[in-house]
């Protein structure tokens, strides 16, 4: 793995899914959903640790398989959680609409009763009783909504205390004065290449696939061993890169979802003859290629995140703020 900045893709999981389709339970409140999501993420972290411990030292093939599996698990659970919350919000909005319509109808009936003097007292009492039940239902919903808002506020306070939130806010405070913001990239093991691909299309109109970027990057590094071997160390031993390991490293770039880092960024900058700027929350921006360290319009712009996902390192694309 390259020294300096490296990358890690996020994870999600199928742990604790409410059913195969991802639909939430009919009686599950938003607070229940958030609580279940926290439990599922905790279970996922335990599962990830177990997967990591299952890899024997030096078993590179198994390590790659586990890395890919973990990235898929985290991406899946993140997507499912977002879908469940969206479904719940839509369902709650529909329920509120129905309740409001019903209340208006009851008020209209009550108005008719009050204006009809010859209607039987018993019928009038029945309508008043139904109106009272409706009012109680409204009050109960109001209390539930107030409680929900209170819990949401508590959750927001908790979220603002997380390393992920604080890191993103620092990055946005650096980018916004320049008219820039963060575009989230899928955490699937290819985030560096996906972010570069997004930048090439956005700024230069070049549609380059992740697969092509990996092939070009691996081949370029292998063809320039004298330059790139100093960037790379053996992650299992910490020793300097040997010719044998260097060859396998380049093959991994081209054929697997191995994470990329500084060596790969240098290679891509050289291949496309474009500078790359990496924005970081805890350090000055890192400038790669083209020497003058200016944040040129044509520069490819990425953001580097240490806390974006449970596995740590991640790259996003930096785009103009609209």
Residue boundaries of the structural domains of the chain? 30-162, 164-320
Report the pLDDT averaged over residues 47-76.
Answer: 76
Structure confidence at residue 228 (pLDDT): 95
pLDDT of 123 > 70? The answer is no
Instruction: Give the DSSP H or E segment for 34.
Output: helix 30-53
Largest CA distance in the chain: 102
Strands (E), the chain: 180-183, 276-279, 286-288, 300-309, 312-320
Give catalytic residues, as residue numbers: 188, 191, 314
pLDDT confidence of 145, banded at 50, 70, 90?
low
Give 205-239 pLDDT, tens digit per residue: 999 999 999 999 999 999 999 999 988 988 888 88
Structure confidence at residue 275 (pLDDT): 94
Arithmetic mean of pLDDT over the chain: 76
Structure confidence at residue 216 (pLDDT): 98
pLDDT of 133 > 90? The answer is no
pLDDT of 82 > 90? The answer is no
Give percent of the chain above pLDDT 90.
35
Could you tell me if 71 and 187 are in contact, meaning their C-beta atoms sit under 8 angstroms apart?
Answer: yes
Report the pLDDT averaged over residues 188-212.
Answer: 94
Phi then psi dihedrals of residue 293, to 5 deg: 60, 30
Q: Which residue reads 């018993």 in tokens? A: 122
Could you tell me if 288 and 299 are in contact, meaning their C-beta atoms sit under 8 angstroms apart?
Answer: no
Give 32-61 pLDDT, tens digit per residue: 888 888 888 878 887 877 777 776 777 777
Predicted model pTM: 0.53
CA geometry: angle 163, 169, 170, nearest 5 deg: 90
Rounded CA-CA distance 58/121 in Å is: 87
Of 286 and 16, the one with more pLDDT: 286
pLDDT confidence of 269, banded at 50, 70, 90?
very high
**CB neighbourhood size of 147 (10 A):** 12
CATH 3.90.70.80 fits 164-320, yes or no: yes
Structure confidence at residue 79 (pLDDT): 78
Structure confidence at residue 170 (pLDDT): 94
């Amino acid at each position: 793995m390259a020294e300096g900045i490296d990358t890690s893709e996020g994870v999600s999981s199928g742990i604790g899914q409410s059913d195969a389709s991802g639909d939430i339970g009919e009686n599950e409140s938003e607070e229940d959903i958030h609580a279940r999501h926290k439990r599922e993420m905790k279970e996922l972290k335990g599962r990830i640790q177990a997967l990591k411990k299952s890899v024997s030292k030096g078993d590179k093939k198994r390590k790659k398989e586990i890395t890919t599996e973990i990235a898929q698990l985290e991406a899946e659970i993140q997507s499912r959680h977002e879908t469940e919350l969206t479904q719940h919000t839509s369902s709650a909005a529909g329920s509120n609409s129905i309740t409001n319509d019903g209340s208006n109808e009851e008020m209209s009936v009550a108005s008719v009763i009050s204006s009809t003097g010859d209607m039987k007292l018993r019928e009038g009492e029945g309508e008043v009783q139904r109106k009272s039940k409706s009012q109680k239902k409204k009050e109960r919903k109001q209390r539930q909504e107030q409680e929900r808002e209170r819990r949401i506020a508590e959750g927001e306070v908790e979220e603002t205390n997380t390393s992920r939130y604080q890191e993103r806010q620092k990055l946005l405070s650096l980018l916004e004065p320049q008219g820039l913001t963060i575009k989230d990239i899928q955490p699937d093991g290819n985030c560096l290449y996906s972010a570069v691909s997004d930048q090439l299309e956005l700024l230069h109109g070049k549609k380059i696939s992740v697969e092509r970027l990996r092939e070009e990057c691996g081949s370029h590094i292998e063809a320039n061993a004298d330059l790139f071997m100093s960037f790379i160390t053996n992650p299992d031993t910490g020793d300097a890169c040997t010719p044998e390991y260097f060859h396998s490293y380049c093959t991994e770039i081209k054929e697997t979802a191995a994470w990329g880092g500084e060596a790969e960024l240098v290679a891509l900058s050289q291949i496309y003859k474009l500078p790359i700027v990496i924005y970081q929350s805890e350090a000055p921006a890192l400038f790669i290629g083209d020497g003058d360290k200016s944040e040129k319009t044509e520069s490819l712009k990425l953001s580097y995140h240490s806390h974006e996902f449970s596995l740590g390192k991640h790259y996003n694309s930096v785009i103009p703020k609209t």
